[in-house]
Amino acid sequence: MEIRKLEDFEINGALGLIWRTFVEFESPDYEEKGVETFKACLSDREFLKKLTFYGALDDGQLVGVISTRNGGNHIAQFFVLKEQHRKGIGRKLFEFILPYSTGEKITVNSSPYAVGIYRRLGFAPIDGEQTVDGIRFTPMEYIK
């Protein structure tokens, strides 16, 4: 398993993985507006330029993605393929990005599906669940 920062030419593949995994696991918890909002983010080049993408590759195949912004202090996206769940890939991705964070804490707006995963990584909720533009999330933080 190789964990590394993704090159520009690999970002489209990462976005495809993110979308496929979102549709499978996240979209059932969202209203149509939320799905549309999420999909629009994946094609918003200005938004995407603000992100740094990291990937988990198994035998050269991308199996997980995490992206950060704000100096590595906010997780924007975090997805692992279904076939690769429960293998520690998410933890490896998260541990890989920790040194790149420039602050004392890392924040995330966790989807309902991922709250338990973030808790296992050491995140704690800082507010209750919210919905903005159809996107459901719980603000969470990790203190380094």
Contact predicate 97/56, CB 8 Å: no
Give 7-44 pLDDT, tens digit per residue.
Answer: 999 999 999 999 999 999 999 888 999 999 999 999 99
Buried b (16+ CB within 10 A) or exposed e, 73-106: bbbbbbbbbeebeeeebbebbbebbeeebeeeeb
Contact predicate 129/136, CB 8 Å: yes
Is the pLDDT confidence value at 68 over 90? yes
Is the pLDDT confidence value at 51 over 90? yes
Contact predicate 53/10, CB 8 Å: yes
Strands 105-110 vs 2-5: parallel, antiparallel or unpaired: unpaired
Domain ranges of the chain: 2-103
State residue 29's pLDDT score.
Answer: 83
CATH architecture of 2-103: 3-Layer(aba) Sandwich (3.40)
Question: Does the global pTM surpass 0.85?
Answer: yes
